[in-house]
Amino acid sequence: MELLQSKIEKDGVVISEDILNVDGIIHHMVDPALMEAVGEDIAAHFADRGITKVVTVESSGISPAIMAAKSLKVPMVILKKEPSKILHADLIQTMVTSYTKEMSYELTLAHRFIQPEDHVLIVDDFLSNGETATAAIRLLRHCHATIAGVAVLIEKTFQPGREKLEDSGVEVYALTRIKKLTGDQILFEKD
Amino acid sequence: MELLQSKIEKDGVVISEDILNVDGIIHHMVDPALMEAVGEDIAAHFADRGITKVVTVESSGISPAIMAAKSLKVPMVILKKEPSKILHADLIQTMVTSYTKEMSYELTLAHRFIQPEDHVLIVDDFLSNGETATAAIRLLRHCHATIAGVAVLIEKTFQPGREKLEDSGVEVYALTRIKKLTGDQILFEKD
C-alpha cells in the first residue's frame, strides 16, 4: 500500500537490524485518515469471504482493526495481554513469547465473544516471527472458529512469520513488506 | 447518548457497587458503528474549539478516540501504560494509581508528539476517580499544551472524577452518566 509505505519511509526509525520504530505511525501517534484507508484496503482484499469478526491484539492493532471492522461491517474482538493466569470459567489463555520485545504474556480471550460459526480475520501491526498471530489462531481454533486470514500493516520478510502461518494453511496479506533494516535505511520488497 | 446508554443497559454487567463490566461494549468486543457514532457525538460537542489532537490512554480508549479524531480530522496520540521507569530523553512519565484496578503504572508520553501550541481533547472510556485523566493532563501541561476538555463514554457520578477535573478548570463531557450500581441494576442519571 503506497500511502502506508511512504509514511513509513518518512517517519519510521530504524533501531536495529530487527527493530523498526513506528511510534509516529501506529504505536504512539496515529493518523485516523491513514488508518481508515488501511482498514478499507484490508476490507477490500477480504471482501466476500463471509468474515464475521475482526480480531486483534491490544493495543497497537486496535486502530487498523476497528477501521477494517467498520469497512467489513462486523464486530472487532480485542485479545488482551495479561501478565499471568487468570482463573475464570469463561477465559481462555495461551502463552506468547515475543522475541522482539523479550517478554512473555498470556494472550486472553473471553470464550463468549467467539462462536464456532465465526469466520475470523486477524489484523495486527507487525508480522515478524509470527508468535502473536499463531497464538491468536490457537485461541480462535480452541473456540472452533475458522480463520479467513491474517492482515498486517508491516511484514518483515527477513523473519519467518509468513512461512509459519502459510504452512498452517493461513493466508497472509501484508500492506507493506520490508526485506531489510540497515543503518538508517528501510528496504522494501519490490512488488 | 441514547444509543450507548441502551447498549450499556443491554450488555453491561454489574460486578460490584463500584465496578461495571463493559467487555461486550468497549473492552473486549467493540461495535465499530457504535464507536463511529460515539466519535461523531464527541466531535460535534467539541466542534469549532480549535482542537489539534485527540489524546487517549491504551488500550480501551483507542476505539472511541480514533473515531473522534477521525471526525475532528486531527491526529490521535496514545498515552502508554508502562510498568516501570524508562530512561529515554524524549519520554516523560507520571505515576497513576488506579483504585478500581488496584494497580499502579507509569503513564508515558514521547515529548515530540505534543507541542506547546496543541489544544488537546482527552477521550477515555470511564471517568471514576479521575486518576487517569488528571495524570494525562499533567503530562500534557508539562508539554505546555492546553486542554480543551475530557470526553468519556461512561461517567460514574458517585465518584469524584468530574469534581476534580472541573476544579482544575477542565470541562467534562460524558456520553452516559451512571449514578448507582446495585445488585444487577445500572441506574443512570436523568437528563
- Contacts of B87 by beta carbon, 8 Å cutoff, 6+ apart: none
Distance from CA of B125 to the nearest CA of A (A): 15
Nearest CA to A90 among B63, B32, B183, B28?
A: B28
Closest to B113 (Cβ–Cβ): which among A29, A66, A113? A29
Closest to B78 (Cβ–Cβ): which among A28, A67, A77? A28
Q: Give the separation between CA A130 and CA A111, rounded to whole angstroms.
A: 23
- A-contacting residues of B 10-29, CB under 8 Å? 23-24, 27-29
Residues of A whose CB is below 8 A from B67: 32, 66
DSSP 3-state assignment of A73?
coil
The residue behind cell 492493532 is A61
The reported pLDDT for the residue numbered A166 is 98
* Chain B residue closest in CA terms to A109: B28
Under the banding of pLDDT at 50, 70 and 90, the label for residue B30 is very high
State the greatest distance between any 2 C-alpha atoms of chain B, in Å, as a whole number.
49
CB contact under 8 A, A78 and B30: yes
Average pLDDT over all residues of chain B: 94
Residues of A whose CB is below 8 A from B62: 59, 62-63, 66
Query: Does A58 contact chain B (CB < 8 Å)?
Result: yes
Determine contact, residues B81/B60, Cβ cutoff 8 Å: no
Determine contact, residues A68/A42, Cβ cutoff 8 Å: yes
CB contact under 8 A, A28 and B67: no
CB contact under 8 A, A75 and B29: yes
Average pLDDT over residues B159-184: 96
CB contact under 8 A, A75 and B30: yes
Percent of chain B exceeding pLDDT 70 equals 95
Q: What letter does residue A133 receive in the DSSP assignment?
A: H
What are the E-state strand segments in chain A? 13-14, 20-21, 29-30, 53-57, 76-82, 91-98, 103-110, 119-127, 146-156, 172-182, 185-188
Reported as a single tens digit per residue, the pLDDT across B52-109 is 999 999 999 999 999 999 999 999 999 999 876 666 778 899 999 877 667 888 999 9
CB contact under 8 A, A66 and B70: no
Nearest CA to B127 among B81, B71, B72, B165?
A: B165
Cell numbers placing B151:
470526553
Average pLDDT over residues B172-185: 95
The reported pLDDT for the residue numbered B191 is 62
Global pTM exceeds 0.90: yes
Closest to B110 (Cβ–Cβ): which among A23, A36, A59? A23
Residues of A whose CB is below 8 A from B77: 28-30
CA distances from B168 to B134, B137, B147 (A): 9, 10, 11
Determine contact, residues B93/B76, Cβ cutoff 8 Å: no
Q: What letter does residue A190 receive in the DSSP assignment?
A: P
Long-range contacts of B2-7 (CB under 8 A, 24+ apart): B3/B34, B3/B37, B4/B34, B4/B37, B4/B38, B4/B153, B4/B175, B4/B176, B5/B175, B5/B176, B5/B188, B7/B31, B7/B34
Cell numbers placing A181:
533494516
CA distances from B27 to B21, B45, B101 (A): 9, 24, 14
Closest to B28 (Cβ–Cβ): which among A30, A70, A110? A110
Closest to B28 (Cβ–Cβ): which among A31, A73, A77? A77
The reported pLDDT for the residue numbered A102 is 74
Reported as a single tens digit per residue, the pLDDT across A97-129 is 877 667 888 999 999 999 999 999 999 999 999
Distance from CA of B33 to the nearest CA of A (A): 6
Query: Does B73 contact chain A (CB < 8 Å)?
Result: yes
The reported pLDDT for the residue numbered A87 is 62
Average pLDDT over all residues of chain A: 94
Cell numbers placing A76:
472487532
Under the banding of pLDDT at 50, 70 and 90, the label for residue A85 is low
CB contact under 8 A, A66 and B28: no
Q: Which residue has the higher pLDDT, B89 or A95?
A: A95
Range list of H helices, A12-130: 32-45, 62-72
CA distances from B139 to A25, A55, B79, B82, B106 (A): 21, 32, 9, 14, 11
* Chain B residue closest in CA terms to A111: B28
Say if residue A72's pLDDT is above 80.
yes
The reported pLDDT for the residue numbered A190 is 85
CB contact under 8 A, B113 and A58: no
The residue behind cell 477542565 is B170
